[in-house]
Structure formats: C-alpha cells, structure tokens
Amino acid sequence: MKKPELLVTPLSSAHIKELCEAGADAFIIGEQRYGLRLAADFSREECQEAIRIAHDYDKKVYIAVNAIFHNDKVDELNDYLLFCQEAGADAIVFGDPAVLMAARESTPNLPLHWNTETTATNYFTCNYWGQRGAKRAVLARELSMDAIVEMKENAEVEIEIQVHGMTCMFQSKRSLLGNYFLYQGKALQIENRKEQKNMLLHDVERDNKYPIFEDDNGTHIMSPNDMCIIDELQEMIDAGVDSFKIEGVLQKPDYVTNVTALYRKAIDACAADPEAYEAQKDQWLEAIEEVQQPHRPLDTGFFFKETVY
C-alpha cells in the first residue's frame, strides 16, 4: 500500500535534522515576505542550509510563496523563484496566480503546489489548477472525511491535507485586529496585548482562547483547539491521499518532533498492517495528549463535523 508523505513545518534549519530522524518526509519553509503563516521565518541563507540538510537525508523541501501579493511585490517574484530553483527547492507552494505566471516565465520546470487554504473544496477546482501547471492541491481544512476521499478519487493532481495542529479561522492584511474588538467593546478580551506577543482572544462565555498570529502578511486568528486525527488515518491512506501535513505554527520544536515521530509510527503501521494500527492507535493518541498544552485540547477538526454555511 502506498504511504502518504509526512509533511512538517520546521522551526529552524537545525530542527530539520531532528525531524528527519523522527521520520518526516518533507518540509515547508520560506520567508515571511513571500510565504503565509510560516512556523519560522527562513532567510535565503537559511533556506539554502535547510535544503542542504534535508537533501542529505533524501528528504524534500517546499518553499512557500503563497502570500497575497500586491503590485509592489509582483516584480520580485521572478527573482525569488529563480533563487528557489537554484537553491534546490523540490516545489513551490503558491495561491496567487501571479506566482504561476512568474513561474512560467522564469522557472517552468519547478513543480508547483496550489494552496489557498480555503477554496480547494471540490475536485473540479483542483483539476483546473492542475491543467494550468500545479502538481498538487492542498485541500481546505473545513472538509469532511467523505469529501476528502471523494476528491482524491476524482483528482488529477496530488492531494495534501492537514492532519495535525492549529488552523487559521480568519486573516486580515491589516495588523492588530484585536484593537478593533477592544474599540467595539465586544465580549472578546485581548490577553498579553501590552507585550504584542502571544496574544489571545479570550471568549469568556465558551472559555476558548484564540491565538493571534501576526507576520508580515497581517493578522491571523487561529483555532482554539489543535486538530489531531492520528487515530483516523486508515480511510485516507486506503484512498491514496498523497501527503499528510503536521502544522507547527506557534508550537515548540520538541512538541513538533514528538508528534512527527508518533505519526511516523502510525502511518507505517497503518500501511503495513491495518489490524496492528487499529490495536495501537489509541496509545498514539494518548501519547500526544500527554504532551499537549492544557489550554489547547485536541479535536478532529471538520473531518466528522457537518459544516454549517
């Protein structure tokens, strides 16, 4: 049975070595100027070092160029894509058609992974981008398990899904969105606002804390829980989903490494012996729960939840 790629977001070049030894197959890195919601900001020199380390382990590195671009940055794309190609990147992650156009001009042989995080909700759209040059489509986080399997059955491109970590609930190109809630006198309170770091929107009524993640691309409100489906991988592996992503945004390196090692064991067992996977999956889930932050409970995201529009 085909194993899905285990894709991880590292927190530094040095972290990549640990993750390779923990069982990761591929990594997403990049520079905040061009990449959206990165677990860490990698300069060009750090990207080169990360690629060198990963390739020494025979692993892949994808560089994120999936920001929302305005006119002032479009002229930079050709140069940055040429850098990515010369550095040895295995693919580029993009969402803006401007990146596709630039790639056609400057790096036509560099593989492209289409990722908008919100609009990959049907296989027609995935195939549309595939016909225009994308090798892979990254599905929206709000899809059910049945929808994911159906999309994989009908997709003409590789399919990537997130299996672990926090997800983005809202994005604004503007910074300090929390000030808006404060000004409006809403029930949501801003914790750690003075430090402008580790800020949380606190929903007192539901006792949920929503992390505010800020980068060069604006403000991002993240989910209060961490998705975890280490015990629900069988159906997607049977369907042939190509890549499982572990999201490391706002996490510590040790946590990401531990989770990666556990998913490596789960994927290997599920592909080799489904009965063995069924017998052990609860133990792997318990192991993740032991290292989970108390204020960030685990859930199964939208995999088994009806989405209300």
Convert the pLDDT of each residue in 135-149 to its tens digit: 999 999 989 999 999
CB 47 within 8 A of CB 90: no
Residue 247, pLDDT score: 94
The predicted structure's pLDDT at residue 309: 44
Which residue ranges does the chain devote to CATH 3.20.20.70? Answer: 5-167+225-299
Q: Render each residue's pLDDT in the chain as its tens digit; 309 residues.
A: 789 999 999 999 999 999 999 999 999 999 999 998 899 999 999 999 999 999 999 999 999 999 989 999 999 999 999 999 999 999 999 999 999 999 999 999 999 999 987 789 999 999 999 999 999 999 999 899 999 999 999 999 999 999 999 887 677 666 655 555 555 655 444 444 444 456 776 677 777 777 777 777 777 777 778 999 999 999 999 999 999 999 998 889 999 999 999 999 999 999 999 999 999 999 999 999 999 988 788 999 888 876 544
pLDDT tens, position by position, 169-193: 677 666 655 555 555 655 444 444 4
C-alpha distance from residue 151 to each of 17, 30, 55, 159, 161 (Å): 33, 28, 31, 8, 11
Element (H, E) at 265: helix 253-272
Helix axes 44-56, 13-22, angle to 10 degrees: 20
Q: What is the pLDDT of residue 186?
A: 54
The CATH architecture assigned to 5-167+225-299 reads: Alpha-Beta Barrel (3.20)
- pLDDT tens for 4-16 read 999 999 999 999 9
- The reported pLDDT for the residue numbered 272 is 94
The predicted pLDDT at position 19 comes to 98
- Whether residue 188 contacts residue 201, with contact meaning beta carbons closer than 8 Å, is answered with yes
CA distance readout (Å), 99 to 31, 82, 187, 200:
15, 12, 40, 33
Report how far apart, in Å, the C-alpha atoms of 61 and of each of 25, 37, 67, 124, 283 are: 9, 17, 18, 27, 30
* 156 SS3 class: coil
